[in-house]
A and B are shown apart, each in its own frame.
Chain A
Amino acid sequence: MKSKQKQSIIVILRMLAYLLALVSFVVLALTGFYPVLILGEHISGYLVMLHVTFAPVLTVCVAVLAVLWASNCRFTAGDWPWFERIVQRITSVKSVDKTAKSKNSGLGQKITFWLIIFLTLPLALSIVISMFHLFGTHWQELLLGFHRYIAYIFTVVVIVHTFLLIRATAIK
């Protein structure tokens, strides 16, 4: 009974973290890309304040999701049968889990999940590091450019992940 209660709290927490992360992501994407891609300017004014306010929220949410969701997104033998076949050929070891091959494992979701977790690091650190007296103007500009390009990739990955999640939920 206690275990079930605990499970439901974790599910709710995960859901909340996910939703909050999604909202933060939308705000960050809008405030970050609108001035650069639409206006052709650097982010500034109230947009930068919104951006800076929601950035830590997203990072915290991603960290929470990493802790709560990582276990569910572990890669299993059934995720990539083609890889298993290559390993079998090399090692001559036969798979014990025959049923895994036919199971719909949500590989796309898992990959995008881990990509989101991984990309959050350079995305956040590229800006946090520049706030310390470590790098000069040249490196500051490089870090800002790095932040921008990682953000493009991150955005694509989040969109794909959300799409896959919605599709999987709809199928269920």
Chain B
Amino acid sequence: MLALCFSAGAAENEQKLLGDESDGSRAHPIHRLELFAEPGEQDAEPVKIDPSINTEEEVLLPFSARRTCGRCHSYGIIDKGWHFNAVDPNAASGRPGQPWIYVDAKTGTQIPLSYRSWPGTFKPARFGLSDPAFTKIFGRQTPGGGAGETDDEVEVMQQYVSGKLEINCLSCHNADPRQDQGSPSGYAVQISRGNFRWATAASSGLATVTGSANDMDEMYDPFDPFSVESAQSGKNKPPTITYHKNVFDHDNSVFFNIVREVPSHRCYFCHSDLYIGEDGAEKWSEDEDIHLKSGMTCVDCHRHGIDHNIIRGYPGEEDVSDNELTATSSCEGCHLGEHSASKPTAGRLSAPVPEHRGIPAVHFERLTCTACHSGPWPADEPHFTKTSMAHRLGTPNVNKASEMLPHIASPVFAKQADGKIAPHKLIWPAFWGVLRGDSITPIELGTVEKVIGEILSKEDFPFSGDWPELTDDHIVKGLSALASGGSAEGKVVYVAGGRLYSLNDSNKLSEQKDHPAAKPYLWPIGHDVRPAGQALGIRYCTDCHGTRAPFFFGDVNVDTPVVAAREAKKMIEFQDISPFYTWAFASSFVFRPWMKIVLICSCALISLVLLLYALKALGCVIKALAGED
């Protein structure tokens, strides 16, 4: 009987909801929905939103995407998707991707953080960032979920006030032009104010949210009308939602313009890149990805089902992803076809099958497609690059200066794990840490802010957001101060620009160049894809095989706040190739046209000799047949 109950329960759990499976219609789905909010008590029924309630008796709550959308779409399946599963230790990390970069010029810090196990990144907790603290800083350019939804066992009451940052389905799927991710009252700002519970509603275009959960003390109860009313009369206002009444139907339903296929501009809020070149950085002067310009959208390639297991689109992803379209959705998958597929897959979505005329096949063994086709055209020095995630592009009060930290350089052509050279974005980590064996653990942010912040407090910090100019003296003071605090079991070090600074036994500064723990963090570039006519090698081999070609011999600046350590490395140092060989090989291209001429002339001469003697032989045969000899 008990077993029967359990199996019935399991069957119920696995039951698909209305929107979990499509009936096959490609028509635009209509979403006229009642709104539901998170209840004040766990396990209670969701609260239906009625904008006309008496706010003296009840609190007008923000609607929750989990409670509203989750009525028809299984939230428990969706939250396993790529955009939400970073905190899940069992989720495959796949190829290294863009980290979250914590930057603080005042402490000389620029550190790549990630919940995923990408070598070179640090877990936020190791840096002293709790999940809610991380969410408050970086949640602005996430669609919620992940770290925003974990239970904070330390600051339980503060999390009760802020709520959890549930998955905001509307971040991607709301086609309404009022969807507000980045305005002064939009999603990003609400998260920075700690209004996690209100962020989805504030971004939806259906309501306005004022106040800040950050300003509320731990005793504030956002579900208690009396508490809310009391707080509203104070100096610091609590988070308060006001629904635009014209959006509600007669039965308090709301129309959402929900689309299955997410518009590309929604992706752009978190995935924009800005390459700062000699001509500045105006978007109008740059071409968009060729796929988008030819009419495609991001989700034409980056697809997923209800599990939101989105295709990242790199070769080899099929080994770690359950998405069955992974193999056919990479560059090769669409343009060349997937050879093991049971049906032809090349040319999907009108993808032209590339001919690559005159390109020796060895290039396809040594280079990724993106090496020639993606990112900006390589310059003598990689471009300063800004990204939405790193520089919070699209949110209020962004520092638009070119030098604004973090300093990301791209394209850097480097060898990746599969042995192929690919264009990457690169940052040089800079942080205070503790060396134990060969590994470094960053010192907690709070300690660094307190100790180093005080030491550097009298320095000049550029308005541009660039590094301050640190000297050996600053580093010695910083290391000494951190070591005297007894903050760590191990050697206190400072990592910057690929160097590891520490104090030796006589308290003198020693530095170790190219320490493995101080290596730069690189992640591959996928976009923007340039058309064939603008791919590397389109003009001549010397686009790359020139003795000064940026592909091999570009200068990658070693970015560091330590003035004396600022230098440049050649691109080839990231490619695991002999610089002399590459230079000699490139030099041979000077003589390549002559070699072709010599070979062709020699072949012509040989052909003439062969023709001459063949004709002579033919003459002999003719004579013999004619009986002359």
Residues in A with CB closer than 8 Å to B629 are: 93, 96
A135-B357 in contact (CB<8A): yes
A60-B609 in contact (CB<8A): no
* A44 at the B interface (CB under 8 A): yes
Chain B interface, DSSP helix/strand/loop, else mixed: helix
B581-A46 in contact (CB<8A): yes
* A66 at the B interface (CB under 8 A): yes
Q: Which of B592-615 contact A (CB under 8 A)?
A: 592, 595-596, 598-603, 605-607, 609-610, 612-613
A93-B624 in contact (CB<8A): yes
B360-A56 in contact (CB<8A): no
B605-A135 in contact (CB<8A): no
Per-position 1/0 for B335-356, Cβ under 8 A of A: 0000000000000000000111
One of A59, A67, A70, A96 near B603 (C-beta < 8 A)? A59
* B588 at the A interface (CB under 8 A): yes
How far apart sit A63 and B600, CA to CA, in the bound complex (Å)? 11
Q: Among the listed stretches B123-131, B217-225, B310-318, B361-369, which one makes contact with chain A, having 4 or more residues with CB under 8 Å of it?
A: B361-369
Contacts A131-B358, A132-B358, A136-B357 given; indicate if A120 touches B606 (C-beta within 8 A): yes
* B625 at the A interface (CB under 8 A): yes
Q: Which B residue sits closest to A95, measured CB to CB?
A: B629
How far apart sit A140 and B358, CA to CA, in the bound complex (Å)? 8
Residues in B with CB closer than 8 Å to A56 are: 595, 598-599, 602
* B247 at the A interface (CB under 8 A): no
Residues in A with CB closer than 8 Å to B596 are: 128, 131-132
B361-A144 in contact (CB<8A): yes
Count residues of A near B (Cβ-Cβ below 8 Å): 41
Can you list 14 A-B contacts with CB-CB less than 8 angstroms, sorted by A residue number? A42-B362, A44-B362, A52-B588, A56-B595, A66-B610, A74-B613, A91-B625, A114-B610, A114-B613, A117-B606, A132-B358, A137-B355, A137-B359, A140-B356
Residues in A with CB closer than 8 Å to B267 are: none
Contacts A52-B588, A91-B627 given; indicate if A70 touches B599 (C-beta within 8 A): no
* B584 at the A interface (CB under 8 A): yes
Residues in A with CB closer than 8 Å to B595 are: 52, 55-56
One of A46, A91, A131 near B592 (C-beta < 8 A)? A131
One of A93, A117, A128 near B600 (C-beta < 8 A)? A128
How far apart sit A131 and B589, CA to CA, in the bound complex (Å)? 12
One of A121, A128, A134, A141 near B357 (C-beta < 8 A)? A134
A55-B599 in contact (CB<8A): yes
Q: Which of A107-136 contact B (CB under 8 A)?
A: 114, 117-118, 120-121, 124-125, 128, 130-136
One of A44, A96, A141 near B361 (C-beta < 8 A)? A141
Q: How far is the CB of A27 from chain B (nearest CB, A)?
A: 16
A63-B358 in contact (CB<8A): no
How far apart sit A136 and B365, CA to CA, in the bound complex (Å)? 15
Q: Which 5 A-B pairs have the closest CB atoms?
A: A136-B355, A133-B358, A63-B602, A66-B609, A59-B602
* B17 at the A interface (CB under 8 A): no
How far apart sit A67 and B606, CA to CA, in the bound complex (Å)? 8
Q: How far is the CB of A70 from chain B (nearest CB, A)?
A: 5
How far apart sit A59 and B596, CA to CA, in the bound complex (Å)? 11
Contacts A75-B617, A91-B624, A91-B627 given; indicate if A130 touches B598 (C-beta within 8 A): no
Q: How far is the CB of A147 from chain B (nearest CB, A)?
A: 12
* B585 at the A interface (CB under 8 A): yes
Count residues of B near A (Cβ-Cβ below 8 Å): 38
Residues in B with CB closer than 8 Å to A130 are: 358, 360
* A45 at the B interface (CB under 8 A): yes
A135-B581 in contact (CB<8A): no
A121-B606 in contact (CB<8A): yes
Extra A-B contacts (11), CB below 8 Å, given A49-B585, A66-B610: A42-B365, A49-B588, A59-B598, A62-B606, A63-B601, A63-B603, A63-B609, A114-B610, A117-B606, A130-B360, A135-B357
Q: Which of A59-94 contact B (CB under 8 A)?
A: 59-60, 62-63, 66-67, 70, 74-75, 87, 91, 93
Q: Which A residue sits closest to B607, measured CB to CB?
A: A121
B598-A66 in contact (CB<8A): no
Q: How far is the CB of A45 from chain B (nearest CB, A)?
A: 6
B359-A124 in contact (CB<8A): no
Q: Which of B162-212 contact A (CB under 8 A)?
A: none
Q: How far is the CB of B612 from chain A (nearest CB, A)?
A: 8
Q: Which B residue sits closest to A116, measured CB to CB?
A: B606
Residues in A with CB closer than 8 Å to B581 are: 45-46, 49
How far apart sit A146 and B364, CA to CA, in the bound complex (Å)? 19
Residues in A with CB closer than 8 Å to B605 are: 63, 66-67
How far apart sit A56 and B128, CA to CA, in the bound complex (Å)? 65
Q: How far is the CB of A18 from chain B (nearest CB, A)?
A: 15
Residues in A with CB closer than 8 Å to B364 are: 137
How far apart sit A125 and B603, CA to CA, in the bound complex (Å)? 8
Q: How far is the CB of A126 from chain B (nearest CB, A)?
A: 11
How far apart sit A55 and B606, CA to CA, in the bound complex (Å)? 15
Residues in A with CB closer than 8 Å to B358 are: 130-135
Residues in B with CB closer than 8 Å to A140 are: 356, 359-361
